[in-house]
Structure 1
């Protein structure tokens, strides 16, 4: 039977156990547009590291990635509960996409201390989300207080973000950290009134798709860096080896993340908040690995003055953070499988330790490959539910 599309529908909560709940084409378009912002952030972080502006680059990376990740997270959870796919909903998402592109345009300035454009794009996205929550408040009486708390809380924080632009530079770090904490507190406060009906399988799929996006950006960035140096015949063999190791690292990261179904961890609101918020570390570290591999390519082409151990740390530290985050969020430190309970933290320690060897990128690839083998052997014969898009 052909479904008749309506230009407007009441924004009622979708069931949390709705069958065949998967990402929509609009959500995929939303993600695709965010690739631009993630890519620009990785490029600027690479340049900052290669130019030995490590602290400034790291601060810019963490701030900009937050500005990308947090609106994405909020959109994904809202859509899981209230995606009506009508005209007003689509137009609001269009505004959010436009805000994401504004953020992408402001990335270079943010890495040099000018956050105005990024804040404008961020506030634009968040205020578009407020209109969605107001619609939900009107159409869903059971969760009206929740929706109004979201709308009110988001609006207040956006006013504070704009006001922060006039604060002196000496208050930049503490003011940003305070606003980050307030942003994180809004969903916790709002959901206490009445929980929204997010769909565990849908949320896990959305997070999996974003993980693939950041891993894909790592591949693109590393490939571009190798391509730039392909004419350097003296370093060709080293570049080929580096590219191969980069591919092993990315593939192992993908394997480790998707080995366990994410929705199995979404058993309650507190668990969902920990899992959802904790993915900032997974997403950011995965994106940072790509920048680190590009710095390694620069080192082989003598385009950076960074010492080899610093180049190694640019890859091994985000790899270690990724491994620990996957262990804590996807598997759980209390997992009964002893090899996994020991293997993941041991691999993270080894990843950092090899930074001080002459070939850190090659060795961290070996460490991750060994962890994948350990995971396969340890879970052999055990039934593990897989998720399929």
Structure 2
């Protein structure tokens, strides 16, 4: 009897639970239906049609304005069209790098000059987009024009050489036209912003927006007025080139100053920090493209080489350490309106020096590779002539065998050197007893041999140098060109390193918004010491023998790697020590990643410190669960619905419109 009663009671509880679950599920479904939302998994709604999203023709930039902070704030992060636009920047940079070998000061200044034009054009567009750009047909049309502008810059960059003996006036006119179009477009975009602002009646924005319009319109007029100076028969342009850079400097200074004075046009809540970080990442990533080219140049046809592999690993470490140095100390949250503007402008020298270090690392690796290969040829020639005393056909065969390793005839870049090398070999083969003992013993200094072989060695150096993508004139001594270019590369490599450290030091001061601790002091001091070490390495270039002795060893790149590693190591140690000391003191502190600037007392924050004093978030210590997907407004947690063992507590809506939290309340509904 008691068993039957127990079974009946259990079945009743089961039916009640099932009914309650059915009612709850129906209630959840009715809420979704009432809101007109169709869940993807509901097959019964497949007969309904989709309501398509249509991009509007134009949107007011005031829709993204933060009326509480009185600033423009369109979105929290870069959208896809902005990332797409950044790719055009790196495509230009990669193309220009591929077409221009830094062999003298003119080519170095041309590289810096084109990067300045490219970066300035990108920067002015970004300053508009982070504040005013909203996805619309109008904005996409503007982006299309900007893409065309950057394609035009790529055309100009392929033969941009203002300091060259043969100036390309047509190329310079195209550059003026491209810059004119870009500034006219910016003028038009700011006029559109002004029109929407006037419709809304924000009178305080009229004057600063008009100033922006005047700046870009004036720049457009100046660029257009420069075109007659580049007539086909005009030769002297030294005083004209500087106008490009003066106008762009005034542009940047004017727009930044306006945003500092009229804070409503500042970048306080924009994603400018993210845009600058993304471009920095792209610039570093362009170095990764260069690494692949360097690998193919040094080992693409000759197979693996131990030293070449070591140098490539050093270049990769340089890229990783640059990434760490920038992003480990990137700003979190707002740290001052004016400081943010200065921080953004300082990205020009930072990114220029990153390019210098990255490209310089590849050039230093190639210089070491060429020196090593040239030394091999030199030893082979010396042994064939001064030791084995070969002559005629045997000597020619030995020379050809030494040069065949480089496969110079299979590379387009070195094809033009093949006739020169053949002439040298033909001359040597037709000379009688050129390496006979009676003709060479005691007549040459140690390590030297007949001039005909020396000429072949120099021309071989030029062919190998050209096969690696370097542009060398046939009418100049390839050895002198190579030696001069290596000296230039060495100087700009370590100069970029020094300026990079100076920029990073400036960034540390600009982004700091809390009380200084031992990390701040150590990080600045170590960077300054490493900066001085880089300056000392620049001084080595004053002594040519010391310079080429250093370049002839594989120690240049490891030196850079070690210096960057020391900066990161001391950052790590000082950060751990600062956290340990702060934890031990029991003082209130704020987390660096806290975007809301909310100070949390020690013992009340939601993170833990490990035994080394390193702060570890909850997400880093808790194991991952299977349910890690984001849930939308109408999504439901993928778990069983709990059965109420007692009726849910009754409630009434509070005055604020929020539901009181009960013990059995469900979330994600």
Does the alignment reach a TM-score above 0.5? yes
- Provide the residue aligned with 1:291 in structure 2: 359
Unmatched 5+ stretches in structure 1? none
CA 1:177–1:106: 2 relative to 1, 3 Å? closer
Map residues 219-234 of structure 1 onto 2, 5 A cutoff: 219-231=288-300, 233=302
Give the alignment partner of residue 350 of structure 1, picking from 533, 545, 556: 533
From 313, 330, 336, give the equivalent of 2:491. 313
* TM-score normalised by the chain length of structure 1: 0.88
Q: Check 1:126–1:20 CA distance in 2 against 1; reply closer, same or farther (3 A cut).
A: closer
Distance in 2 of aligned mates of 1:226 and 1:11: 47
Give 3-state SS (helix, strand or coil) of 2:299's partner.
coil
Q: Which residue of 1 aligns with 2:593?
A: 385
Q: Larger relative contact order (C-alpha < 8 A, sep ≥ 6)? A: 1
- In the superposition, relative to structure 1, how do residues 372 and 116 fare at CA in structure 2: closer, same or farther (>3 Å)? farther
Deviation digits for residues 291-331 of structure 1 (CA, Å, limit 9, x no counterpart):
21232233134223347654433432212212211220244
Q: Please give the alpha-carbon distance, in whole angstroms, between the structure 2 residues aligned to 1:236 and 1:318.
A: 29
Residue 71 of structure 1 is matched in structure 2 by 121
Q: Which residue of 1 aligns with 2:443?
A: none
Are 2:80 and 1:25 aligned? Answer: yes
2:193 counterpart of 1:136: yes
TM-score normalised to structure 2 length: 0.53
The 1:349–1:117 alpha-carbon spacing in structure 2 relative to 1, beyond 3 Å, is farther
The correspondence for 2:145, drawn from 90, 95, 99, is 95
SS state of the match for residue 110, structure 1?
A: coil
- How many residue pairs match? The answer is 381
**Pair 1:83-2:291 in alignment:** no
1:37 and 2:233 aligned: no
Once superposed, what is the RMSD of the aligned Cα atoms? 2.8
User: Is contact 1:41–1:107 with CA below 8 Å preserved after alignment?
Assistant: yes
Contact 2:339–2:511 (8 Å) recurs in 1: no
**Which residue number corresponds to residue 324 of structure 2?**
255
Shift of 1:214: 0.5
Distance 1:376 1:118, change over 3 A: farther
Whole-Å Cα distance in 2 between the matches of residues 317 and 166 of structure 1? Answer: 37
Q: Which has the larger radius of gyration?
A: 2
**CA pair 42-322 structure 1, distance change in 2 beyond 3 A:** farther
- 8 Å CA contact 2:530, 2:563 repeated in 1: yes
The SS at the match of 1:195 is helix
Cα distance change, pair 23–290 in 1 and its aligned pair in 2 (3 A): same
In structure 1, the residue matched to 2:344 is 276
SS in 2 for 1:262: coil
CA distance in 1, matches of 2:186, 2:332: 25
Contact persistence 2:131–2:270 (CA under 8 A): no
Go from structure 1 to structure 2 and tell me whether the alpha carbon gap of 1:264 and 1:323 turns closer, same or farther (over 3 Å shift).
farther
CA–CA separation in structure 2 for the residues paired with 1:257 and 1:373: 14
Partner-residue secondary structure (3-state), 2:65: coil
Change in Cα spacing, 1:333 to 1:138, as seen in structure 2 (3 Å) is closer
2:315 corresponds, among 246, 255, 263, to 246
Distance 2:323 2:115 in 1: 20
For 1:325, the equivalent position in structure 2 comes to: 503
Distance change (3 Å), C-alpha of 1:290 and 1:41: farther
Aligned pairs for 1:152-191 (under 5 A) are 152-167=214-229, 168-188=236-256, 190-191=258-259
Contact 1:343-1:371 at 8 Å conserved across structures: yes
Give 1:300's match in structure 2, choosing from 347, 350, 368. Answer: 368
| 3-state SS, counterpart of residue 260 of structure 1 | coil
Cα distance change of structure 1 residues 23 and 132 upon mapping to structure 2, 3 Å threshold: same
Structure 1 CA distance for aligned equivalents of residues 493 and 96 of structure 2: 16
Distance 1:203 1:196, change over 3 A: same
- Distance of 1:88 and 1:94 partners within structure 2: 10
Counterpart Cα distance in 2 of 1:19 and 1:152:
24
When residues 179 and 6 of structure 1 are mapped into structure 2, their CA distance, relative to the original with a 3 A threshold, is closer
Whole-angstrom CA distance in 2 between matches of 1:208 and 1:333: 14
1:149 corresponds to which residue? 211
1:143-171 Cα shifts (integer Å, max 9, x gaps): 23222221221111122123234444131
